[in-house]
C-alpha cells in the first residue's frame, strides 16, 4: 500500500511537504505560497487539491486511499436534498418529521425531540453549520423512507457521480466500520455540489444561524480566516481524524481542497490553507496580503494515529462575539495526565468540535491535570456542558483568553 501511495504522489510534492514545519503568513508581507508540512508517516492522512472548473489535480497525497468520511458524509446528504429541491420533490418550507431514531443520534445535534418537526431549510442550516446528526437523520428518513434506505440511495448516487470508492451507511457520518470514501471522491462530490446547485451552494457560506434563541456558528473556520473561502464541510471521528473539504475563489479561479486524517482542528485548517496557497501558486495567482495568518497554532504536528492535539487554536480578542470560537469546556481536574486525556476525549466526542487539551496545575502542593476542549463557540460550549451534566460528568464553560469559569 505504501508503494501505491508513492506512485500517487509526485516527488516534488513530497519534497515541498517534507521541508516545512511552520506555516505563517504575516499581514502585509508578500511572500510566495508556503509549502505545507505533510503528515508523512500517518496511516490515515490523504489530501487533494483540484481546479474546480476543469478537475485538474494540482496536489495529491494518497488521494485514492480508503478513509472514513465522518461528517463529510453530510455533503452527500445535502446533495440528495438539493437534488430533491431542484426537482421540486420537496420545498424549503416543507416540514421534516423527527422520529425517535433521528432524535436519538449522538451529538453534535440540534436537540430535536421525537414527534416534532423542522423545515427543510432549518435542517440544511443545521447540517452546514452545527453538523447536526439528528437533522441529517431526519432529512434522510424523509427522502428515503428510512435512514438505511437513504444510505443505499446515497451510495448509488455517489457511484453515478463517479465516486467509485465510496460507500455510505448513514446520513450523518456517525461511525460505521463499513462507511468509506477517498479524498478524490470527496473532491468529485464538492465539484458536483458547486456546479450542479449554484443557488443552493450559498448555504455553505452561512456564518451562523439562530436556533431556539441560540446562535450556532459554522464549524468551518476557514470562512473567517482564508480570503475567498466560501464553504464546504468539516468532519471528525476518532477513527477518521480531522477532515475538511474547502472551496475558495481567488483571481476568478475556484479551487477545491480535501484534507483527511489530520491530528487536530488547527493542524487540519493550517494544512488546508497552505495547500490552497500552493495550488494558487502553481496557477500564478498571488496570495492575498490582507489577512494575517501568523501562526496562533504553532508548528503543524504530525497526524499520527493518536487523536490528541495539545495546541489549541485560540482567538483571544477581548471583545470576541458569542459566536466566535474563543470558548471551551473543562471536564474536571484529574490526578494523572492519562485520566485527563480520557475525560477530554469524552468531552470532545460530546462537543463534536474543538481541540483536546490537558494542562498541569498545582493545587495544595500537588500536580493535577485539567481536561479541556478548546476552540468552541459559547453556545456550543454551553450545549456540550449541558449534555455532560446529564451524564453526571463535571463540566464548566471557560473563556479561553482569560481562562475564566463562565458557567456550570
Q: Catalytic residues, which ones? A: 71, 74, 131
Q: Which three cell numbers stand for residue 264?
A: 487536530
Helix (H, G, I), strand (E, B) or coil at 363: strand
Which runs of E-coded beta strand occur in 145-228? Answer: 208-211, 214-217
Full DSSP string of 123-149: HHHIIIII--HHHHHHHHHHHHSSHHH
Cα(116)–Cα(98) distance, integer angstroms: 5
Structural contact between residues 84 and 92, judged by C-beta atoms closer than 8 angstroms: no
- List the beta strands (DSSP E) in 343-400: 355-363, 366-376, 396-399
Query: What is d(CA 57, CA 385) in angstroms, rounded to the nearest whole number?
Result: 43
Rounded CA separation 303/45 (Å): 7
Going along 4-102, which residue ranges are E strands? 46-51, 57-61, 95-97
Largest CA distance in the chain: 67
| CA-wise closest residue to 367 among 332, 337, 341 | 337
Q: What single DSSP character describes residue 387?
A: H
User: How many Å is the Cα radius of gyration of the chain?
Assistant: 20
Residue 260 belongs to what H/E stretch?
Answer: strand 253-262
For 233, phi then psi, to 5°, come to: -155, 145
Cβ contacts of 188 within 8 Å, gap of 6 or more: 161, 162, 163
Cell readout for 364 is 495544595
Neighbour tally for 78: CB within 10 Å = 25
Structure letter (DSSP) for residue 216: E
The H-assigned helical ranges of 197-326 are: 222-225, 265-282
Q: In whole angstroms, give the CA distance from residue 63 to residue 403.
A: 40
Q: How far apart are CA 322 and CA 327, in angstroms?
A: 9
Amino acid at each position: 500500500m505504501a508503494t501505491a501511495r508513492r506512485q500517487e504522489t509526485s516527488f516534488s510534492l513530497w519534497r515541498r511537504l517534507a521541508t516545512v514545519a511552520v506555516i505563517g503568513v504575516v499581514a502585509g508581507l508578500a511572500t510566495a505560497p508556503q509549502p505545507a508540512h505533510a503528515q508523512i508517516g500517518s496511516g490515515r492522512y490523504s489530501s487533494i487539491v483540484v481546479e474546480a472548473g476543469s478537475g485538474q489535480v494540482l496536489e495529491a497525497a494518497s488521494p485514492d486511499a480508503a478513509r472514513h468520511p465522518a461528517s463529510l458524509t453530510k455533503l452527500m446528504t445535502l446533495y440528495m436534498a438539493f437534488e430533491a429541491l431542484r426537482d421540486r420533490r420537496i420545498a424549503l418550507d416543507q416540514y421534516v418529521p423527527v422520529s425517535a431514531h433521528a432524535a436519538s443520534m449522538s451529538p453534535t445535534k440540534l436537540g430535536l425531540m421525537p414527534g416534532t418537526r423542522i423545515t427543510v431549510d432549518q435542517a440544511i442550516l443545521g447540517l452546514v453549520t452545527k453538523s447536526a446528526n439528528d437533522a441529517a437523520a431526519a432529512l434522510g428518513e424523509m427522502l428515503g423512507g428510512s435512514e438505511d434506505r437513504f444510505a443505499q440511495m446515497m451510495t448509488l448516487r455517489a457511484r453515478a457521480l463517479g465516486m467509485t470508492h465510496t460507500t455510505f451507511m448513514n446520513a450523518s457520518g456517525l461511525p460505521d466500520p463499513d462507511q468509506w470514501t477517498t479524498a478524490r471522491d470527496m473532491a468529485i462530490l464538492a465539484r458536483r455540489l458547486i456546479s450542479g446547485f449554484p443557488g443552493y451552494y450559498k448555504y455553505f457560506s452561512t456564518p451562523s444561524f439562530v436556533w431556539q434563541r441560540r446562535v450556532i456558528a459554522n464549524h468551518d473556520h476557514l470562512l473567517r480566516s482564508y480570503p475567498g473561502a466560501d464553504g464546504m464541510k468539516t468532519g471528525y471521528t476518532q477513527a477518521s481524524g480531522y477532515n475538511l473539504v474547502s472551496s475558495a475563489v481567488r483571481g476568478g479561479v475556484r479551487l477545491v481542497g480535501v484534507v483527511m486524517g489530520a491530528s487536530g482542528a488547527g493542524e487540519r485548517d493550517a494544512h488546508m490553507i497552505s495547500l490552497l496557497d500552493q495550488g494558487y501558486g502553481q496557477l500564478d495567482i498571488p496570495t492575498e496580503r490582507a489577512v494575517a495568518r501568523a501562526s496562533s497554532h504553532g508548528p503543524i504536528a504530525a497526524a499520527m494515529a493518536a487523536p490528541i492535539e495539545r495546541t489549541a487554536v485560540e482567538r483571544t480578542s477581548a471583545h470576541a462575539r458569542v459566536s466566535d470560537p474563543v470558548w471551551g469546556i473543562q471536564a474536571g481536574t484529574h490526578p494523572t495526565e492519562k485520566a485527563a486525556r480520557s475525560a477530554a476525549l469524552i468531552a470532545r466526542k460530546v462537543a463534536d468540535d474543538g481541540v483536546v487539551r490537558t494542562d498541569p496545575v498545582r493545587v495544595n502542593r500537588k500536580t493535577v491535570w485539567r481536561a479541556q476542549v478548546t476552540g468552541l463557540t459559547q453556545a456550543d460550549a454551553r450545549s456540550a456542558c449541558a449534555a455532560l451534566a446529564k451524564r453526571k460528568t463535571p463540566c464548566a464553560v471557560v473563556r479561553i483568553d482569560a481562562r475564566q469559569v463562565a458557567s456550570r
